[in-house]
Amino acid sequence: MLLDTGYRPGPAAALRESLYRIRALANNNTLIRLRDPGQTISYVVMPMVLMLVLKPLYVRAVEGGTTKVVTGLLVMFSVFAISIAGNAILAERTWKTWDRLRVSRAPAAELLIGKTLPIYVVMVAQQTILLVYGCLVIGLPIPGNVPLVLGAILLWAFTLLAIGALLAAIVRSHGELSVITDVGALTLSSLGGALVPLSLMPEWAQVAAQASPGYWALEMLQAAVSGDAAGVVRPAAILLGIALVCGVFAIRRLTRGWGRGGLL
């Protein structure tokens, strides 16, 4: 007996079925993440070590050094985490599993949500852990406006996810992705003031910093940590714009699939 009856559910049932499929996809991607956690762990542990080592330097060099060392390294290693998103999406292409999913009943939007949701959770968790560590171990004052900080983390993670998806959609191999994310992340985050306080950098670098998402993330997070809601608005808007542009392009590309034009 064939189970495929061509049954079409009503709107409420369709929503339940959609959520059911998204949960199945998210579970599968969570399994994959949990079985290969090395990269995620290193992007949490490395900044913890660096925060401890660099804190005395920051405190002596700039005002508000503790905040700057915590937010700076948080931003830097969250930018590195773009490679987690990129590799996870690119792996579907390497394994040729993305086309298997595209043939299923799940439409493109469900596939993308199911794929990116666990990665998003990982990114948010990474930043939250580093911020909590910053408060408990490094001496960052506990933020007065926790929802504002959480909102900033959620937005920054969304931006990183969109950039990672975009990269995964356009690069042709894990090697290419690795070059772009490692060199790009280091350049963008340090140029944005994540490694060395911006005030200590050359003038040209301070001007160029504004082209870096890392710069705006740093602005947003430092404002959020200090409870400055007004200071969050401008960088948040810019990051949201970057996220939307990257996200829309990535969605268009991933929805269409790589076909035979992809080199993998």
Partner 1 sequence: MLQAIDLVKRYGPVLALDGFSLSVAAGEIVGLVGHNGAGKTTFVEIVSYLIRQDGGHVTIDGRPPSASRGRVGVAPQHIALYPSVTVREHLTLFGKLAGLRRAALDSAIEELTVALRLGAFIDRRTAALSGGQQRRVQAATALIHRPGLLLLDEPTAGADLETREAMLDVVKQRAGDGAAIVYTTHYLPELVELQATIAVARNGRIIARGTYDELVDGLPGEVRLIHDNEEEVRVSTTQPAATLIDLLGRAERPISTIEVHNPSLDDLYRSLAVSDAP
- Output 98 or 156, the one with its CB closest to partner 1: 98
Q: Measured from the CB of residue 95, what is the shortest distance to partner 1 in angstroms?
A: 6
Contact residues for partner 1 (CB under 8 A)?
1-4, 6, 17, 20-21, 23-25, 27-28, 31-32, 35-36, 95-97, 99-107, 257, 259-260
**Cβ distance to partner 1 smaller for residue 28 or 66:** 28
Q: CB nearer to partner 1: give 119 or 223.
A: 119
Give me the least distance between CB of 97 and partner 1, in Å please: 5
Judge whether 209 and 193 are in contact, CB under 8 Å.
Answer: yes
Q: How far is the CB of 99 from partner 1 (least distance, A)?
A: 5
What is the DSSP code (8-state) at residue 261?
Answer: T
Least separation, in Å, of the C-beta of 91 and partner 1?
Answer: 9
CB-based contact 131:70 (threshold 8 Å): yes
CA–CA separation, 163 vs 241, rounded Å?
12
Rg of the Cα atoms in the chain: 20
| Choice between 106 and 238, CB closer to partner 1 | 106
Smaller CB distance to partner 1: residue 25 or 242? 25
Q: How far is CA 260 from CA 127, 136, 256, in A?
A: 37, 51, 12
Could you report how far apart the first and last alpha carbons of the chain are, in Å?
Answer: 38
User: Closest separation between CB of residue 172 and partner 1, Å?
Assistant: 17
Pure H helices in 35-64: 38-61
Token pair for 48:
């913890």
3-state secondary structure of 77: helix
